[in-house]
Structures are given as structure tokens and as C-alpha cells.
Structure 1
Amino acid sequence: MIFLPSIKISGTIRFIEETDDEKRENLSQKVMNSLAPDNFLGMTTVMEEEYAEIHLKSEKIGSVLATADDLLMNADGAVRVKKSSRKQ
């Protein structure tokens, strides 16, 4: 019987506040808070003053990619809602 070592695949998504408006509104923290319900066991979040990060880790690359895709789609939606509320 052959035993293969457990392999962990990891990735990081960083949301950076680039404009003065984004920095003033702490946009990356608001996006992270809106994504928090999607967190799973292999995820950790880090919030700094001008950016926020999500670290993903899994034994399956497909899980990391699917989760990253879901998070980016949800983050895009959160940013669009925030920007549209700014215009009103």
C-alpha cells in the first residue's frame, strides 16, 4: 500500500483600497464583513488599515478555485451595491 503525503493548496485574495473614497469608507473591511458568512474551515481573514485579505487552504485545488471564484463574484456585487448607494 502506498501512502501519499497530504498536500495543501493555498491562495490569498487581497482587497486593496485604492481611492481616497475607498480609504475613507474602509471599503475593504465592509466587503470582508459582507463575505464573512461564506467563510469555511480552511479560510482565514486578515484586516489591515488599507486592505483586507482572505487566505484559502484545502487539499483540493478545485475547492480553492471554486471558493475564490464565489468570493470574487460576491465581492464584486458588494462593491457595486456600495458604489450605487454612494450615488443616491
Structure 2
Amino acid sequence: MYDLTGFQRDLLLVVAGLDEPHGLAVKEEMEEYYEKEVHHGRLYPNLDTLVEKGLIKKGERDQRTNYYTLTARGDREIADRQQWEATYLSD
């Protein structure tokens, strides 16, 4: 996960926290967090990067709608990151 941008890490967490979200659901969550519009030209290439890295999987719900799920590798990467963060954030 060290080679991801902050935006990509946030996308990974959103996908992990939702049940097979479609792209627009991910977009809405990111816009709520960032408090500004997230353009399709930023969202989908970054989701594709996470797919290419094997952290999320893209499936097809219908001919127009894709959904995203966390892979086992993505789950391990999040757990490792949380453990690493805890070493610096613990009391």
C-alpha cells in the first residue's frame, strides 16, 4: 500500500466499507469526505489502478454498471497499514 496515493488509499477504504459499491456510490462517498466534486476522470482511472494492483476486483452488474469488491490482498494491505499506523498512534 506504500505505493498508493492518498486518494487511492481512500478509495480502497471506501470499497472495503461498502457492500459491492458501484462507481457512483464510491464517488458520492469520496465527495462527502473531500467536500468537493470528484470528477469521473479522476475516479475511474484510480479505481482501475487498484484493480490492476490486485487490491480490488471489478465485476459487472449489468451492461452499464460495474461494482467493486475488496480482494484478499486488499484486505491484508489494509490490515497491515492499520497495524503500522497503530505503532505511531497508540498511547
Q: TM-score, normalised by structure 2?
A: 0.30
Higher percent of residues as helix: 2
Q: TM-score, normalised by structure 1?
A: 0.31
Higher percent of residues as strand: 1
